[in-house]
C-alpha cells in the first residue's frame, strides 16, 4: 500500500452488493478497465471479497466485489454472508446491482432490506439494459426506485460499457479526501496464486453445469519460472464426489484436457509469457463445510 501522494487526493471503498448472476464481476472489470474478477453465468461465481482498484488523476476508488448475497445454507455461504456485512461496515458507499432483463425479485428485495440499515450512501446500477427492451428497462428502473434505498439509479450495460462512465463519476463523488491505499499499478489485492487459481476455476465454470460448478475449487500448488521464461504451474481441482471427478476428467480425459487448454491460454494472457499447466483432480468430500479447508483456500 502507498500513501505517498500529493495533497488533494480522494480515496475510499465502494462495496458491490447484488444477488448471484447480476453481473457484479463484469461491472467490476469494466470500472477498473481490466480483468480482476472471473465471469460466469453460474451463481456463486465470486467466493472471495475482491478489492479491485480504479485510479484517476487525483482519486483512487477501491471496489469490493462481494460474494453474491444470499440466505446462508452452509459454512461456505455463512462465511460469504459475514464478509458482506463486514465490508459494508467498512465502506464509504455501496453499489447495488440489479438485472434489467430479469427485473426485481424477492432476492433483490431481501438485499435491499439489508442495505436499508447501511450507514453509507447506496447507489443502484440496473445492469444488462442491452438485453432488455425499453419497456422492461423502464419497469426495472421504477422497481429499483420503489426499493427505497438508493440516492441515485443508473441504467448500464457492464458488458458493453454503456452508462459505466457516468456511474463511475458519481461513485468517485462519494469518496472522502485521503491518500491512495494501493500503488497505481495495482488492479487488485488478490495474491498471484489466488488470481491464477480463479482463472483455472473460470474454465471449469464455462464447461460444467448443475451441481458441479458449486462443488469445485482450485488450489495452486506451485509456480516456477524457468530460465527460458516458461512458467510451470501445478494446480489441483477439488471436488466433493467421485462422480464429479469423473465428469471433470471426462471420457478419455477430454474434459480435463479442454479445461487445461482454456486455462493455459487464460494464464498466458494474464502473465504475458508461455505457461505449462499441470492439472489434477482430487476428491475432498464436503469441503464446503470444512472450516480448515476454507481457511487454507482463503475464503474468509
Q: Contact 259/265 with Cβ under 8 angstroms?
A: no
Range of the domain at 131: 10-172
pLDDT digits (tens, 9 = 90+) for 126-135: 999 999 999 9
| pLDDT for position 287 | 81
pLDDT at 186 over 70: yes
The CATH number that applies at residue 132 is 3.40.50.300
Domain membership of residue 178 (yes or no) is: no
| pLDDT for position 212 | 82
The CATH number that applies at residue 205 is 3.30.300.20
List CB contacts of 80: < 8 A, sequence separation 6 or more.
47, 67, 68, 70, 72, 299
Pairing of strands 122-127, 152-155: parallel
Residues 140 and 270 in one domain: no
pLDDT at 2 over 50: no
Residues 214 and 160 in one domain: no
Residues 73 and 111 in one domain: yes
Residue 241, phi then psi, degrees to nearest 5: -135, 160
233: left (phi over 0), alpha (psi -120 to 50) or beta: beta
% of the chain residues with pLDDT over 90: 57
Residues 139 and 72 in one domain: yes
Domain membership of residue 179 (yes or no) is: no
Number of domains in the chain: 2
| pLDDT for position 135 | 95
Residues 163 and 203 in one domain: no
Domain membership of residue 155 (yes or no) is: yes
Amino acid at each position: 500500500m502507498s500513501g505517498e501522494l500529493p495533497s488533494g487526493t480522494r480515496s475510499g471503498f465502494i462495496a458491490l452488493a447484488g444477488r448471484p448472476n447480476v453481473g457484479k464481476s463484469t461491472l467490476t472489470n469494466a470500472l477498473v478497465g481490466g480483468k480482476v474478477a472471473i465471469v460466469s453465468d453460474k451463481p456463486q461465481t465470486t467466493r472471495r471479497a475482491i478489492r479491485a482498484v480504479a485510479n484517476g488523476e487525483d482519486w483512487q476508488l477501491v471496489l469490493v466485489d462481494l460474494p453474491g448475497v444470499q440466505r446462508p445454507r452452509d459454512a461456505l455461504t455463512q462465511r460469504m454472508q459475514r464478509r458482506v456485512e463486514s465490508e459494508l461496515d467498512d465502506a464509504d458507499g455501496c453499489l447495488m446491482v440489479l438485472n434489467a432483463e430479469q427485473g426485481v425479485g424477492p432476492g433483490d428485495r431481501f438485499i435491499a432490506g439489508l442495505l436499508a440499515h447501511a450507514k453509507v450512501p447506496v447507489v443502484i446500477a440496473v445492469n444488462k439494459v442491452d438485453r432488455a427492451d425499453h419497456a422492461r428497462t423502464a419497469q426495472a428502473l421504477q422497481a429499483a426506485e420503489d426499493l427505497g434505498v438508493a440516492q441515485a439509479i443508473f441504467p448500464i450495460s457492464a458488458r458493453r460499457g454503456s452508462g459505466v462512465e457516468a456511474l463511475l463519476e458519481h461513485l468517485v463523488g462519494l469518496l472522502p479526501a485521503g491518500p491512495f491505499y494501493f500503488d497505481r499499478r495495482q488492479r487488485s489485492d488478490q495474491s498471484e496464486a489466488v488470481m491464477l487459481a480463479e482463472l483455472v476455476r473460470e474454465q471449469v465454470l464455462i464447461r460444467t453445469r448443475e451441481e458441479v460448478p458449486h462443488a469445485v475449487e482450485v488450489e495452486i500448488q506451485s509456480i516456477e519460472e524457468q530460465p527460458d521464461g516458461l512458467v510451470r504451474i501445478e494446480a489441483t481441482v477439488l471436488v466433493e464426489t467421485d462422480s464429479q471427478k469423473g465428469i471433470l476428467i471426462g471420457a478419455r480425459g477430454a474434459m480435463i484436457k479442454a479445461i487445461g487448454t482454456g486455462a493455459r491460454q487464460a494464464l498466458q494472457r494474464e502473465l504475458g509469457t508461455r505457461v505449462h499447466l499441470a492439472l489434477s483432480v482430487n476428491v475432498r468430500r464436503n469441503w464446503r463445510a470444512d472450516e480448515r479447508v476454507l481457511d487454507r483456500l482463503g475464503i474468509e
